[in-house]
Amino acid sequence: KAVPAKGFAKMSATGNFQAYDFQRHAVGDDEILIDIQYAGICHSDLHTAKGEWGAIDYPIVPGHEIAGRVSQVGKNVTKFKVGDFAGVGCMVNSCGTCEYCKKGEEQYCLKGNVGTYASKDYFHNDELTQGGYSNKIVLAENFAIKIPKNADMKKVAPLLCAGVTTYSPIVHKNVKAGDTIAVAGFGGLGHMAVQYAVKLGAKVTVFDITEDKRADALKMGAVKYVNVKDPAQLKGLDNTYRVIISTIPAKYDLTMYQKMLKLDGDLVILGFPAQKDLPSMTSGDILFGGRRKISGSLIGGIKETQEMLDYSVANNIYPQVEVIPATASAIDQAYTNVLDGKVRYRYVIDMQTIK
Ligand code: NDP
Ligand code: ZN
């Protein structure tokens, strides 16, 4: 039977969060129920909930950085037992039969994956999915990630999106010791990208729009920090980086970063600003960029997410988090702070404190 859940939803693009009681579908034979302990606040939650990427259906319970404990399993479940720790990222299902799903690249499912929130679940009569700012979630066991017992749960949550989204291109672009690379946007995603790249031995430059994060970036192992607001700091950087990872969620100059690539270098776009702020470039910019490559990257597949999680825990690579209580006003305040550049570096809601 259906599972009662409590959470926090926005009822419109402009409204505040409100306490929201709703139901999760019954735990199917291949599904598990997770009692959510922690849910990270990703900038994608803000973009989506405010309709910045296009109109969505309300109510919306955001949250795709979920860590918790399994409290019920369907009869065919083999990967989890009650009491195990489990995580959920940006997807709760996918077609499972297309060429990309078969390769473990469910994020590129040809039918479209079922997103953790604001998505139509085509396995459950197109019900609107609801995310992690809630106390319970039901999903296919194949889309849940195993979390080792010794992991720090509040810091594990953001790995499920910020972790894998940065780990994936770093692995795919073969970032290695001695590489000169850059990370643009030093926030939730950016500070994970820096840690993974530094761990691999790369020389990392960080770009952001403030002086306030310089010390943190250097402490995390970056060799250089550039405040793009200061033109003097941008001098002499053309033709420098083999890989640049952009996590910028606002309007910015794409060609500036393209020019900073070495020939055959890669600019990987992770940040997805509001539609009205999307940076653009012309075919002329691309042509004169020569063999400098620009591509995007979407989260990571389930197998890769598990690999990232095991790697992060084993190497003690975690986000820096600020835990907030499970109240609507605390979430509203966190959203304001993310936009004001005040978060260090990921808010995590302690869902166990929900009333
Ligand atoms: P955060 O807000 O935590 O971090 C963004 C960082 O970029 C902040 O440090 C911000 O600075 C900085 N920034 C803003 N403008 C500029 C600029 N012009 N130049 C350099 N830095 C800038 O966001 P997240 O890390 O959570 O998410 C980043 C983006 O990635 C979002 O658009 C999100 O939707 C997207 N995303 C994409 C995914 C994918 O699969 N590709 C997955 C998850 C997220 P300040 O704080 O000072 O304002
Ligand atoms: Zn995210």
| Pairwise CA distance, residues 321 & 162, whole Å | 12
CA of 162 to the centre of ligand 2 (A): 6
Atom of ligand 1 at shortest range from CA of 345: 3
- CB crowding 39-76: b at 16 or more within 10 Å, else e: bbbbbbbbbbbbbbeeebeebbbbbbbbbbbbbbbbee
Distance 239 CA to ligand 2 centre (A): 31
64 lines ligand 1 (CB under 6 A): no
pLDDT band at 259 (very low <50, low <70, confident <90, very high): very high
pLDDT of residue 97: 98
User: 66 — alpha (psi -120 to 50), left (phi > 0) or beta?
Assistant: beta
Ligand 2 midpoint to CA 321 (Å): 15
What is the pLDDT at residue 326? 98
* 3-161+300-353 classified as CATH 3.90.180.10: yes
- Which strand (E) or helix (H) includes residue 297? none
Alpha-carbon span 162 to 342, nearest angstrom: 17
Q: What dihedral angle (degrees, nearest 10) is formed by the CA atoms of 215, 217, 221, 224?
A: -90
The finding on whether 89 has its CB within 6 A of some atom of ligand 1 is no
Amino acid at 161: C
Ligand 1: atom nearest CA of 41 is 26
Ligand 2 centroid – CA 306 distance (Å): 16
Q: pLDDT, tens digit, for every residue of 207-235?
A: 999 999 999 999 999 999 999 999 999 99
pLDDT(150) > 90: no
Given this structure, which CATH class describes domain 163-296?
A: alpha beta
- Closest residue by CA, ligand 1 atom 18: 252
Closest ligand 1 atom to 162 CA: 43
- The dihedral through the CA atoms of 37, 40, 41, 47 has a sign that is negative
Helix and strand totals (H; E) in the chain? 10, 19
Shortest-distance atom of ligand 1 to CA 340: 48
The total number of residues shown for the chain amounts to: 355
Nearest bound ligand to the CA of residue 298: 1
User: Could you report the per-residue pLDDT of 50-100, keeping only the tens digit for each?
Assistant: 999 999 999 999 999 999 999 999 999 999 999 999 999 999 999 999 999
Residue 187 CB–ligand 1 contact under 6 Å: yes
Q: In a 3-state reduction of DSSP, which class is residue 143? A: helix
Q: What is the pLDDT of residue 201?
A: 98
